[in-house]
Structure 1
Amino acid sequence: MTEATSLTPVEHAESELLVVTGMSGAGRSTAANALEDHGWYVVENLPPQMLTTLTELVARTPETIPRLAVVVDVRGKELFQDIQASLAGLRSAGVKYRVLFLDADDAVLVRRFEQGRRPHPLQGDGRILDGIAAEREVLKELKHSSDDVIDTTDLNVHALATKVTELFSDSGPIVLRLNVMSFGFKYGLPADANYVADVRFIPNPHWVPVLRPQTGLDAPVRDYVLGAEGAGEFIERYVNALIPVLDGYRRENKHYATIAVGCTGGKHRSVAVTEEIAQRLAQLPGVQVAAHHRDLGRE
Structure 2
Amino acid sequence: MKNLIILTGMSGAGKSVALDALEDMGYFCIDNLPPVLLPKIVELMESTNEEMHDVALGIDLRGQSMFENYIHEINQLPLLKDMKLSILFLDAADERLISRYKETRRSHPLNKGITLTEAIREERDILTDLKGNATYIFDTTDFSPKDLKEEVYKYLNRTKDSIFSVNVLSFGFKHGLPKDADLVFDVRFLPNPYYIEELRKKTGLDQEVYDYVMKFNDTERFYRKLADMLKFMLPLYVKEGKSQLNIAIGCTGGQHRSVALVERLSKRLKNKYKYEINTIHRDAHIEGEVREKD
Bin the TM-score by the shorter chain: 0.7 to 0.9
The CA distance in 2 between the partners of 1:210 and 1:77, in whole Å, is 69
Q: Tell me which of 92, 95, 104 is aligned to 2:92.
A: 104
Cα pair distance change 1:169/1:61, threshold 3 Å: farther
The CA distance in 2 between the partners of 1:114 and 1:84, in whole Å, is 31
Secondary structure at 2:225 match in 1: helix
1:170-219 deviation per Cα after TM superposition (whole angstroms, max 9, x unaligned):
77754322222222223322222111111122222233344334332222
Secondary structure at 1:160 match in 2: helix
Corresponding residue for 1:9? none
1:85 is displaced (CA, Å) by 3.3
Q: Tell me which of 249, 252, 255 is aligned to 1:264.
A: 252
Secondary structure at 2:237 match in 1: helix
Cα pair distance change 1:225/1:75, threshold 3 Å: closer
Q: Percent identity?
A: 38
Which aligned pairs between 1:238-257 and structure 2 lie closer than 5 A? 238-257=226-245
Corresponding residue for 2:68? 81
Corresponding residue for 1:175? 163
Deviates more, 1:208-217 or 1:182-191: 208-217
Instruction: Provide the aligned length of Structure 1 versus Structure 2.
Output: 285
1:63 is displaced (CA, Å) by 5.0
Secondary structure at 1:282 match in 2: helix
1:102 is displaced (CA, Å) by 0.3
1:228 is displaced (CA, Å) by 0.4
Which aligned pairs between 1:205-216 and structure 2 lie closer than 5 A? 205-216=193-204
1:155 aligns with 2:148: no
1:61 aligns with 2:62: no
Cα pair distance change 1:73/1:297, threshold 3 Å: closer
Alignment-mate amino acid for residue 269 of structure 2: L
Corresponding residue for 1:30? 17
1:235 is displaced (CA, Å) by 0.7
1:149 is displaced (CA, Å) by 0.7
Corresponding residue for 1:46? 33
Secondary structure at 1:70 match in 2: strand
Secondary structure at 1:230 match in 2: helix
Root-mean-square deviation (Å): 2.8
1:164 aligns with 2:152: yes
Secondary structure at 1:283 match in 2: helix
1:140 aligns with 2:125: no
Corresponding residue for 2:211? 223
Q: Which runs of 5+ in 2 are unaligned?
A: 288-294
Deviates more, 1:118-127 or 1:211-220: 211-220
* TM-score, normalised by the number of residues in structure 2: 0.84
Cα pair distance change 1:68/1:297, threshold 3 Å: closer
User: Which has the larger helix fraction?
Assistant: 2
The CA distance in 2 between the partners of 1:272 and 1:118, in whole Å, is 50
* TM-score, normalised by the number of residues in structure 1: 0.82
Corresponding residue for 1:287? 275
The CA distance in 2 between the partners of 1:190 and 1:18, in whole Å, is 35
Corresponding residue for 2:107? 119
1:87 is displaced (CA, Å) by 3.4
Q: Which runs of 5+ in 1 are unaligned?
A: 1-12
The CA distance in 2 between the partners of 1:56 and 1:205, in whole Å, is 55
Cα pair distance change 1:211/1:22, threshold 3 Å: same
The CA distance in 2 between the partners of 1:284 and 1:82, in whole Å, is 50
Q: Tell me which of 131, 139, 148 is aligned to 2:119.
A: 131
Cα pair distance change 1:83/1:210, threshold 3 Å: closer
1:30-74 deviation per Cα after TM superposition (whole angstroms, max 9, x unaligned):
2223223333333322344x2653355346526563333222212
The CA distance in 1 between the partners of 2:206 and 2:85, in whole Å, is 53
The CA distance in 2 between the partners of 1:32 and 1:211, in whole Å, is 49
The CA distance in 1 between the partners of 2:156 and 2:215, in whole Å, is 46
Cα pair distance change 1:204/1:26, threshold 3 Å: same
